[in-house]
Chains A and B, each alone.
Chain A
Amino acid sequence: MSETLVDLDDVLTRYEPVIGLETHVELGTESKMFCGCSTTFGAEPNTQTCPVCLGLPGSLPVANAAAIESTIRIGLALGCRIAAWSRFARKNYFYPDIPKGFQTSQYDEPLCTAGHLDVEVDGQTYRVEIERVHLEEDTGKNLHVGGATGRIHGADHSLVDFNRAGIPLVEIVTRPVPGTGAKAPEVARAYVTELREIIQTLGASDVRMEQGSLRCDVNTSLAPVGSLEWGTRTETKNVNSLRSVERAVRYEMRRQAAVLDAGGRVVQETRHFHEDTGSTSPGRSKEEATDYRYFPEPDLVPLAPDAEWVEKLAADLPELPAARRTRLQQEWGLSGTEMTWLVNAGALGLVEQTVAAGASPAEARKWWLGELARRANDAGVELADLAVTPAQVAELTALVAEGTINDKLARQALDGVLAGEGDPRAVVAARGLAVMGESDELVAAVDAAIAGAPDVVEKVRGGKVQALGALVGAVMKTTRGQADAATVRRMLEERVLSS
């Protein structure tokens, strides 16, 4: 496994990377692509099967209209041309997890072609051209039993679960993306991130990489700087997180540079990504690649989406993430950098919902990027997984704005919310967190502070007004933070300076 690697900076002095991505998305349809079986994740093995998705002799497929619609919507969101005539094709190969001995897919007549997706990295926009978006069916899942690794090598026997077989799968293939230079790993990640967000916005899939409903194959090649021809590419499979997408490209760039530096040639092959080490290892090489013998699926009729229907689907698309970001940035008056922070922190939607619940954009941002980000970080969870809703955050900001609580009390109120004690207003009431007014108690505390620190009073009167802070602190301490600091300061000023 100790592959020779070249430093990334060093790679870029001699080579230009070209990347490409093939992304598989399991659609969130109720039923499978060609039969009525359920698509629910995590059911007992082989309980969601029928003669069709088990490939029993005599069974025939019937295409799922909802899946076709979802595919077209994804294509439209990526600016693709929607084919007026499209066909399924059979991709023939033998493997125990494909029940029919072929995968029903699309070949030279895909549903969507020629789109693009713009992604931003460090303030620069990169256009990723989309070659095609097509519809196919997922395979079953092999389970290798008895080995140490769960892989086929060393296993006693293997089991196949066909619950996943036949789930609609959309494949989104980019054209090769040149010109990303040192940013190639980040561009790859940004592309998948943006694509995921688009599909989420469309409601076409739950796009959960950890459950495999979004899976990525990453192509990487290097060419000498200034070369007119691209290098030989590798296809890294099994890349199952956004971070891994970035790491896989980086690793392949470093590995391929070492191969080329040593005078070797990059082998065109599929490689496996290893999450633990961040490295890749060789899989099937092109030399032993299967001839899939594609031909049009004779058991299904061609698809001819009606142009008017497609236009309606286009018109009914929801606001897409890029447009939404632009709009919110303007509405909230943010700089590009501020917007990027918000997006990178995964807080955009939360802030938007908090604003919708009545908070000011500035307050909402302050809470989510400040106190809440800190708490999420401490707890090691995502912002969205914190036990507080945007509406509750908005209520906190409202309580501060109306003077019921101050920032410090608000943090205590948040403690209560996170501990499941209810909404902020209820927590404030239950815990008695409201700010003190100019009560006798507060007057007594102020007088006590003045009486207790004659030297400080002297200094203030002598012109060192900033020394008043020590007195404010003393009052806040006696009132356990429940006083309003501004009120306290005003009361101190009245007493110390006017006499």
Chain B
Amino acid sequence: MSDLTALPVTALQAALASGETSAVEVTRAHLDRIAAEDGDLGAYLHVDADAALQRAGEIDASGTAGTGLAGIPVALKDVFVTEGVPTTSGSRILEGWRPPYSATVASRLHDAGTVLLGKTNMDEFAMGSSTENSAYKVTRNPWDRDRIPGGSSGGSSAAVAGRLAPFALGTDTGGSIRQPAAVTGLVGHKPTYGSVSRYGLIAFSSSLDQAGPMARTVMDAALLHEAIGGHDPRDSTSIDAPVPTVVEAARRGAGGDLSGLRVGVVRELGGEGARDGYDPGVLERFTEAVALLEAAGAEVREVSCPAFDLALPAYYLIAPSEASSNLARFEGMRFGIRVGDDGSRDIDEVMALTREQGFGPEVKRRIILGTYALSAGYYDAYYGQAQKVRTLINRDFLAAFDDVDVLVSPTSPTVAWPIGARVDDPLAMYAADLCTLPASLAGVPAISVPCGLSEGLPVGLQVMAPALSDDRCYRVAAAVEAAQGAPLADRLAERAA
């Protein structure tokens, strides 16, 4: 058997089903690689090898390995609550917390028979684009270990790109699945808002957060998406609709024929009207990807979405506002750390000290920003105004989808930057989300699929579709993947070999 960590999930399924390998072997292969590589890569915050092997043994014993996702290892971003398994959301304030319950998506993956390898590193409370805001460790990009793996789901992207997991779950609030996927050469999909349960996902910005898959191939991502998607009565914002048939769409797209598909290049995002800040190499790969779509039969036109230019300021008012409220529960009373409770201080001081020492600088920055934006007298000018911008962005999408089936743009304006390069410049950090924010604010699905290298580093193509048409994202992404011959991730493996 070849290296099990190099196989896509589809190949692992076949190998498990045929009895060529076992869940224990697959799990051990990944655990070995974690042991060998993760000291340097820093993808994981928590790995319980014994628990993973035991679980894999149970799956083998049950005889279900290879049916669906049974026996396939998976990694979860540490933002997902997992019963009895440490969950920190990348924050010091939750150090030592073992949740008494599991997120719906974690339960669904467990019920599907997957084997939990561990919890992956992330920017604290999912706030960041480089994973450098983790309270625990730096995560490195497997393509260039001096560079960031993107963020906030950078632990998941590094784990999957580095073959320390076959696939992983991330969450995306303003681009936190798509951007790390793009800069590590992975496929990452942010589903339609409300189509994947948020129950047990530690909230950053409730109206934007979505869980989604990160994988080395479009089909692997689709398999993970189908396993976690669908209505959840515990989440009031969950849509009661069938999961889009993304696996079927990925299969169909892999055929490479996009005849009749109308594709819109967003003028404001990497199109003619794009502003400064895009790497020339990123724009070149993007142009080539658009040419691939045309070659596959798609009909390409430019579409203007003027309100997209306002997405960044609107996002950086809405997300911090909701975060300032969502993070209020972290005050040391019921879970996580408590600071200063020595009998000499009153309750307000204990809560303040706990938050002072428990939160990192970026989290504090956003709490202050959001608290200010929601304050009496400022609400209308900031939060209220940002919500209006959100409506405008929605209208731009609706108008665009009257004319085209999908919209495309680069996923990230740049390739992965060197670790430390932007830590002192929050605005430069925020600009990394430029292309991903509109879909977040409108709640529409968007996928990032690799479309080549620039300076030896991966570039991603973003495909956006109307709400609940996630299948279109997968179809186009699969066609792009097929047109390039092989998944980009394979080239990293070849390079290492």
Contacts and interface: CB of A to CB of B under 8 A. Distances in A.
Residue from the set A54, A61, A63, A298 with the largest chain B CB neighbour count within 10 Å: A298
A300 B348 CA distance: 29
A160 B87 CA distance: 24
Interface stretch (B44-52, B375-383, B416-424): B375-383
A301 B238 CA distance: 10
Contacts of B100: 51, 56
Nearest to A299: B206
Contacts of A298: 205-207, 237, 322
B217 interface: no
A92 interface: yes
Given A58-B81, A291-B375, A293-B375, A102 B236 contact: no
Given A57-B335, A60-B234, A102-B328, A92 B198 contact: no
Interface string A316-360: 000000000000000000000000000000000000000000000
A102 B325 contact: yes
A463 B351 CA distance: 96
B175 interface: no
A57 B379 contact: no
Contacts, number: 103
A94 interface: yes
Given A291-B375, A293-B374, A298-B206, A60 B81 contact: no
Interface string B320-355: 011011011111011100000000000110010000
A57 B331 contact: no
Contacts of A55: 329, 334
A55 B202 CA distance: 11
Contacts of B168: none
Contacts of B76: none
Interface string B89-109: 100001001011101000000
Kindly state the interface size class of chain A when it binds its partner.
Answer: 20 to 34
Nearest to A54: B334
Given A60-B199, A60-B235, A299-B237, 12 more contacts: A54-B334, A56-B335, A57-B202, A58-B201, A59-B101, A63-B236, A92-B324, A293-B376, A294-B374, A295-B325, A295-B383, A299-B236
Nearest to A101: B328
A301 B89 contact: no
A60 B198 contact: yes
Contacts of A295: 321-322, 325, 374, 379, 383
Given A60-B198, A60-B199, A63-B236, A94 B99 contact: no
A175 to B, nearest CB: 22
A411 B302 CA distance: 97
Residue from the set B97, B325, B376 with the largest chain A CB neighbour count within 10 Å: B325
Contacts of A56: 81, 99-101, 334-335
24 contacts: A56-B99, A56-B101, A57-B81, A57-B87, A57-B89, A57-B94, A57-B203, A58-B81, A58-B201, A58-B202, A62-B235, A63-B236, A92-B324, A92-B374, A94-B331, A100-B328, A101-B325, A101-B330, A291-B375, A293-B371, A293-B374, A293-B376, A295-B379, A299-B236
B329 A62 contact: no
A96 interface: yes
